[in-house]
Amino acid sequence: MKCDEIYTVNVEKITNLGAGIAKIDGCVVFIENSCPKDKLKIKITKVNKSFSKGEIIEIIEPSEYRTTPFCPMYKVCGSCQLQFIDYNYQLIIKKAITKDTIKSISGLDIPIFDTISSPETKNYRRKIQYPISQTKNSKRILAGYYKPKSHEIVNIKYCPIQPEICDKIIEFIREHAVDYGIQGFDEKEHRGELRHVVIRNSIYTNKNLVVLVANATKNFNRLNNFAKAIYNEFEDVSGVCVNYNSKKTNVILGAKTECIAGCDYIEEKILDKVFRIGANTFFQINPKSAENIFRYVKNYISDNMNNPVVLDAYAGISSFGICVSDVCKQVVSVEENKDSCDLAKIVAKDNNINNIEINNMDAGKFFAIEKRNFDAIILDPPRKGCTEQSLDEAYRLSKDTIIYVSCNPATLARDLKYLNQKGCIIESIQPFDMFCHTYHIENVAIIKVNK
């Protein structure tokens, strides 16, 4: 097989990064934008020892699961990689991705349930983060997502996976930033004031928090006036903040945020608990799907444990701990971010929750010094998963059950393999569709601890 050679192939399945898989003489070929059961004419674009890559020249026979993308920007945006596939079949694909990834990395045969769908498949994204730039000649402000594998901004004026009000706010910023002397950010030259716009939208209140990410270390009048103009323009904007990030980094938000107009948070309701979400608060972008996950974890604890003491690790604003608190004797929460811990204390007080203990500490360090044992431990780590030391300590502190919530099947598989080698039994995995029309999957694994 050589580059530029033409082949006819049948797509078998999709990888955990969204590419289709076909085989030519036993060699694996990855093909972007392909669907299982597609018959394709492809051109080989890359060849190495273990796999090749190909691009579609012609769809000879489309899969029965192909559908017309509902977004006019689908081909150039690249954010919704699976939008050309029927939604119900996307759920089947995500279960298969979870199963294949777990099996190939861990070697374990674990019962995996059908993927639980998102209650909303459009307008579900309640947090948007648009990079901002400016054209050299016309000086137009551009706002949108990056094209795939580039830092070229797609100027998006309508996005069907986010609320319409977000499009209107972005359009106002796009049209009026220059009126206030605000320039878009030039990434190469590291100049221009406005780097990103972040919007948090609430289903519960229909309010929006707007965050202008500035290439600056302190406020200035032009930016201050622009923030107030945004606030005054939209009744549904509860507040406008400025976040300062002058560093040469891909990290969107800097450490310091200042509220310029209105309120510095929005409220969101999950199950029967009301949460405050600020500019820097981690909170799931799809609240209705997140509610399915919280309900699943809460029901498991309620159905299988009597008045338990539960540890909520990597807790953020203690979302899990707060949601399960009324079926627990006590919840102990641990989170390294101080702002999140401070906000968690406010949320607990607002919801009249008195049985939660909030610890501001790195989870690994907390595990190492903690002496208590817990009936259940909820692990909700970032995409990189847990360290072996953290897994060792979670195993040590758990009396019976570890509930592992993961957004990355590969690191979940690695960590489940490690826990299994310690003697744990992986009871089940439940996939959830948090990020509709993408290859991303949220999973909840139930792990029984044998000592």
What residues are annotated to the active site? 407
4 CB-contact burial (10 Å; exposed 0-12 / middle 13-18 / buried 19+): exposed
Closest CA to 436 of 168, 189, 79, 190: 79
Cβ neighbors of 309 (< 8 A, separation 6 or more) are 328, 329, 330, 331, 332, 372, 374, 375
19: closest CA among 40, 37, 33, 8?
Answer: 33
Which pair of structure tokens corresponds to residue 164?
């319409």
Q: In this structure, how many other beta carbons lie within 10 angstroms of the beta carbon of residue 361?
A: 15
In terms of residues, how long is the chain?
Answer: 451
Residue 76 CA to residue 167 CA, distance in Å, equals: 18
Instruction: Give how far Cα 118 sits from Cα of 36, 93, 96, 165, 408, Å.
Output: 22, 15, 17, 21, 18
Please, which residues have CB within 8 angstroms of residue 66's CB and are 6 or more apart in sequence? Answer: 35, 38, 59, 84, 85, 86
CB burial class (10 A; 0-12, 13-18, 19+) of residue 450?
exposed
Q: How open is the CA angle 373-374-379, to the nearest 5 degrees?
A: 120
Within 8 A by CB and 6+ apart from 123, the residues are 160, 161, 162, 163, 164
CA distance 146 to 378: 34
Say which residue the tokens 């990020």 belong to: 435
d(CA 449, CA 399): 7
DSSP 51-66: -EEEEEEEEEE--TTB
- Which residues are bridge partners to 91 per DSSP? none
Q: Which residue has the tokens 């307008």?
A: 123
Burial class (CB in 10 A: 0-12, 13-18, 19+), 372: exposed
Q: How far is residue 132 CA from its own chain's centroid?
A: 21
Q: Beta 39-47 vs 27-31: how paired, if at all?
A: unpaired
Residue burial 234-252, b: 16+ Cβ < 10 Å; e: rest = beebbbbbbbbbeeeeeee
